[in-house]
């Protein structure tokens, strides 16, 4: 039964939590009450992917206080021979736990920038502002003690293992050491609750605290864990890694975050405006813009669409896990458009485990103290970082159609070309159209194939100039300059061999002003993949003029592009001719490509893994 003035809440993972009278009174103070109106996961609560991310910082803060109370009980049982834990100690640490997030603004980190105070600094300011009320509840000066804990926390974030603690053994030493070691009540609560609320998966790492111990390291008391805690700690750290990937740094919520930051900037909100705004006020402001578009700035209306309605139409967005690939993509994007203002970027990084900064010490069965990396096969120096690039084509004005098409192609193009190639004996007395008609009739006779009449196929003329590398490049690389009508593009193709009989190649298309710019981008790509290439030199090689007849064919439930290529090969005054049928998987399963190729081979087609350039060289005798 609850005592007078106690409160009770239902935590999604920990169940019913009783909030004692003093802390129930604290929750009536304004910055504590406002925790109920702040989303724990910021713009995840507005995203289209993490739909269940609706829980508040109040739930989280109460959960952290509850874990702190549990840890205090364990420490009281295990360490009473070393030091006494007073009621005052318990209240100080529980209040620090309950209030640790009151300095967060609406949508948390989404509206923060480097010029603003941190949420830790604002938390300290709130405690100073309400010092009299809080101290009156507890009957002594609790606030100065809580503030000192927060100040230590700030220093720990900056200094990690270098943070110097006083040479004394008490309960504050235990909690401070846990912060240095990355296993603390705050992280434990948000990993547990966020996973349950977003994915419905229940995990509970409280048993880690049962294995807490004190060890001597360099003749100084240090908090560590018994070896039996290792599987639990492994799981907690790896779950945190997973959640940064799938929840906190998830692409759609990051896109929403970028939009809400831009909305803040064009609205001219200063720090004092943002700090006083509740989330519902910001959402109301956005809703007014949507309902009164004639009164709104065009950009504000577009941002409100993105944030409230989830309108992603015409937004080009990519996430990168590799800095070099991100920089290479930006170079390619900037080679397409000179409008640097339309390119929006963001970067996120977090260290999950860094032995040079936040160690977790394990006491093995022999009493030897080791870093968890020495006893675990799963934990290493873990960090996670992503870079994001966005272009909202609905916000772009004055861009021509060709430039827009090239931007779309860069963001949307599948860089891996999956295809099979065939040679077919053509009848030299027939026209190209007659040969194509024969191929169409063969395709129409294959069960499960739906194909348009030849008259509906596209006819394209390509002029390809291949480059021969004079410097050492990876095996199988092909570079060419293609002219199709008025479009002129550079291409780079590299094999993506996975051991199957299907030809798979990485294909990159570039819109460059000249060959030197193209070769510079190629060099950047190779170096982003771990090669060390300082310079690329080429000379002109085979020239191929092709009449291409192509269309999309439905094979079972997959879409395959069929291209009949009739080519003239030229080099150093020599000429030769060739025909090739290319079948490229555009959508669906590899098995459909295999199925089609099986029937083509039964009808006289001969499969080849040779590229068009290789066949041209053979035909020309070079």
C-beta neighbour count of 540 within 10 angstroms: 12
When comparing pLDDT for 125 and 381, which is higher? 125
State how far the Cα of 14 lies from the Cα of 128, in Å rounded to an integer.
Answer: 31
Q: Are 620 and 569 in contact (CB under 8 A)?
A: yes
Q: Are 612 and 466 in contact (CB under 8 A)?
A: no
Mean pLDDT of 251-273: 93
Helix segments in 27-56, DSSP class H: 30-33
Q: Which residues lie below 8 Å from residue 553, measured CB to CB, with a gap of 6+?
A: 443, 449, 450, 451, 559, 560, 561, 562
DSSP 513: S
Burial of 82 (0-12, 13-18, 19+ CB in 10 A): middle
**What pLDDT digit, counting tens, does each position of 468-499 carry?**
998 888 888 999 999 998 888 999 988 876 66
Mean pLDDT of 170-193: 88
Is the confidence at residue 1, as pLDDT, over 50?
A: no
Mean pLDDT of 236-255: 94
Question: Which pLDDT value is given to residue 166?
Answer: 66
**What pLDDT digit, counting tens, does each position of 562-617 carry?**
999 999 999 999 999 999 999 999 888 989 999 999 999 999 999 998 889 999 99
DSSP 375-394: H-SS--SEEEEEEEEEEEGG
- What is the percent of the chain with per-residue pLDDT over 70, rounded to a whole number? 96
Question: Which pLDDT value is given to residue 548?
Answer: 95
C-beta neighbour count of 211 within 10 angstroms: 19
State how far the Cα of 419 lies from the Cα of 609, in Å rounded to an integer.
Answer: 10
Distances (CA, A) of 577 to 22, 566, 600: 90, 8, 22
Domain architecture of the chain: domains with CATH: 413-620 (2.40.320.10)
C-beta neighbour count of 607 within 10 angstroms: 16
**What pLDDT digit, counting tens, does each position of 501-559 carry?**
667 788 888 888 899 999 998 998 888 878 888 889 999 999 999 999 999 999 998 99
DSSP 320: E
Distances (CA, A) of 433 to 275, 429, 548: 71, 12, 11
State how far the Cα of 65 lies from the Cα of 35, in Å rounded to an integer.
Answer: 14
* Residue 378 Cα to chain centre, angstroms: 22
pTM, two decimals, is 0.77
Question: Which pLDDT value is given to residue 165?
Answer: 64
Maximum pairwise Cα distance, the chain: 105
In degrees, rounded to 5, the angle at the alpha carbon of residue 483 between the alpha carbons of residues 482 and 485 is 150
Q: Are 323 and 387 in contact (CB under 8 A)?
A: yes
Q: Please give the span between the terminal C-alpha atoms of the chain, in angstroms, as a whole number.
A: 92
Question: Which pLDDT value is given to residue 48?
Answer: 85
Question: Which pLDDT value is given to residue 480?
Answer: 96
Across 22-48, b (16+ Cβ under 10 Å) vs e yields bbbbbbebebbebbeebbbbbbbbbbe
State how far the Cα of 226 lies from the Cα of 209, in Å rounded to an integer.
Answer: 10
Q: Are 560 and 533 in contact (CB under 8 A)?
A: no
Confidence band of 183 (pLDDT split at 50, 70, 90) = confident
Q: Are 201 and 339 in contact (CB under 8 A)?
A: no
Confidence band of 192 (pLDDT split at 50, 70, 90) = very high
Q: Where on the phi/psi map is residue 584: left (φ > 0), alpha (ψ -120 to 50), or beta?
A: beta
Task: Give which of 597, 580, 565 is closest to 501, Cα–Cα.
Answer: 597
Q: Which residues lie below 8 Å from residue 486, measured CB to CB, with a gap of 6+?
A: none
State how far the Cα of 76 lies from the Cα of 81, in Å rounded to an integer.
Answer: 9
- What is the percent of the chain with per-residue pLDDT over 90, rounded to a whole number? 64
State how far the Cα of 604 lies from the Cα of 149, in Å rounded to an integer.
Answer: 80
Classified as helix, coil or strand, 404 is: helix
Distances (CA, A) of 620 to 215, 288, 528, 538, 582: 77, 69, 36, 20, 21
| C-alpha atoms less than 13 angstroms from C-alpha of 339 in its C-beta half-sphere | 16
The length of the chain, given as a count of residues: 622
- Strands of the sheet containing 220-226, edge to edge, are 212-217, 220-226, 361-363, 369-371
Helix segments in 294-322, DSSP class H: 298-304
Q: Are 445 and 551 in contact (CB under 8 A)?
A: no
Is the confidence at residue 339, as pLDDT, over 90?
A: no
400-404, 450-454, 482-486, range with the lowest pLDDT: 400-404
Is the confidence at residue 214, as pLDDT, over 80?
A: yes
DSSP 39: B
Task: Give which of 466, 508, 540 is closest to 335, Cα–Cα.
Answer: 508
Residue position matching structure tokens 């989830």: 310
State how far the Cα of 354 lies from the Cα of 588, in Å rounded to an integer.
Answer: 42
The 8 Å CB, 24+ separation contacts for 74-78 are 74/209, 74/210, 74/212, 75/171, 75/174, 75/212, 78/212, 78/213
Is the confidence at residue 2, as pLDDT, over 60?
A: no
State how far the Cα of 201 lies from the Cα of 239, in Å rounded to an integer.
Answer: 11
Confidence band of 313 (pLDDT split at 50, 70, 90) = confident
Q: Which tokens sit at 503?
A: 């030809």
């Amino acid at each position: 039964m609850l005592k007078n003035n106690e409160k009770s809440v239902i935590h999604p993972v920990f169940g019913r939590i009783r909030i004692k009278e003093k802390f129930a009174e604290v929750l009536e103070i304004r910055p504590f009450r406002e925790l109920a109106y702040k989303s724990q996961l910021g713009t995840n609560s507005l995203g289209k992917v993490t739909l269940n991310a609706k829980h508040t910082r109040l739930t989280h803060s109460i959960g952290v206080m509850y874990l702190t109370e549990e840890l205090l009980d364990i420490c009281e049982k295990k360490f009473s021979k070393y030091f006494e834990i007073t009621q005052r100690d318990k209240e100080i640490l529980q209040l620090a736990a309950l209030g640790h997030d009151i300095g967060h603004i609406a949508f948390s980190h989404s509206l923060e920038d480097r010029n603003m105070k941190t949420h830790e600094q604002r938390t300290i300011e709130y405690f100073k502002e309400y010092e009299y009320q809080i101290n009156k509840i507890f009957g002594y000066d609790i606030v100065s003690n809580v503030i000192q804990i927060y100040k230590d926390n700030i220093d720990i974030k900056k200094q990690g293992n270098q943070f110097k603690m006083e040479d004394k053994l008490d309960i504050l030493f235990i909690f401070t050491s846990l912060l240095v070691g990355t296993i603390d009540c705050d992280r434990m609560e948000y990993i547990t609750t966020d996973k349950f609320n977003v994915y419905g998966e229940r995990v509970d790492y409280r048993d880690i605290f049962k294995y807490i111990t004190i060890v001597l390291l360099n003749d100084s008391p240090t908090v560590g864990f018994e070896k039996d805690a290792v599987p639990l700690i492994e799981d907690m750290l790896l779950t945190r890694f997973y959640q940064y990937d799938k929840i906190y740094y998830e692409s759609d919520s990051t896109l929403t975050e970028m939009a809400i930051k831009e909305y803040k900037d064009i609205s001219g909100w200063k720090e004092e405006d943002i700090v006083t705004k509740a989330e519902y006020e910001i959402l109301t402001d956005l809703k007014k813009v949507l309902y009164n578009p004639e009164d709104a700035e065009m950009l504000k209306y577009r941002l409100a669409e993105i944030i409230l309605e989830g309108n992603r139409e015409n937004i080009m967005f990519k996430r990168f896990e590799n800095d070099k690939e991100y920089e290479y993509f930006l170079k390619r994007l900037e080679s397409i458009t000179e409008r640097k203002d339309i390119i929006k970027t963001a970067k996120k990084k977090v260290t999950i485990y860094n032995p040079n900064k936040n160690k977790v010490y394990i006491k093995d069965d022999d009493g030897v103290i080791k870093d968890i990396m020495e006893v675990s096969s799963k934990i290493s120096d873990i960090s996670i970082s992503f870079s994001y690039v966005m272009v909202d084509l609905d916000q772009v004005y004055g861009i021509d159609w060709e430039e827009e098409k090239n931007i779309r192609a860069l963001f949307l193009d599948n860089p891996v070309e999956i295809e099979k190639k065939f040679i077919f004996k053509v009848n030299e007395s027939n026209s190209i159209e007659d040969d194509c008609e024969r191929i169409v009739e063969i395709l129409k006779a294959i069960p499960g194939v739906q194909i348009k009449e030849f008259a509906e196929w596209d006819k394209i003329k390509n002029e390809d100039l291949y480059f021969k590398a004079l410097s050492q490049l990876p095996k199988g690389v092909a570079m060419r300059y293609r002219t199709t009508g008025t479009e002129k593009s550079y291409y780079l193709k590299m094999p993506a061999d996975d051991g199957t009989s299907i030809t798979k190649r990485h294909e990159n298309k570039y819109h460059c002003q000249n060959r030197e710019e193209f070769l510079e981008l190629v060099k950047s790509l190779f170096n982003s993949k771990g090669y060390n290439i300082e310079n690329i030199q080429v000379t002109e090689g085979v020239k191929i003029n092709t009449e291409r007849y192509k269309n999309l064919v439905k094979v079972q439930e997959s879409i395959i592009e069929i291209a009949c290529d009739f080519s003239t090969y030229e080099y150093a005054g020599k000429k030769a001719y060739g025909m090739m049928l290319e079948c490229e998987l555009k959508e669906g399963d590899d098995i459909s490509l295999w199925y089609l190729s099986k029937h083509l081979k039964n009808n006289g087609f001969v499969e080849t893994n040779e590229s068009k350039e290789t066949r041209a060289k053979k035909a020309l005798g070079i």
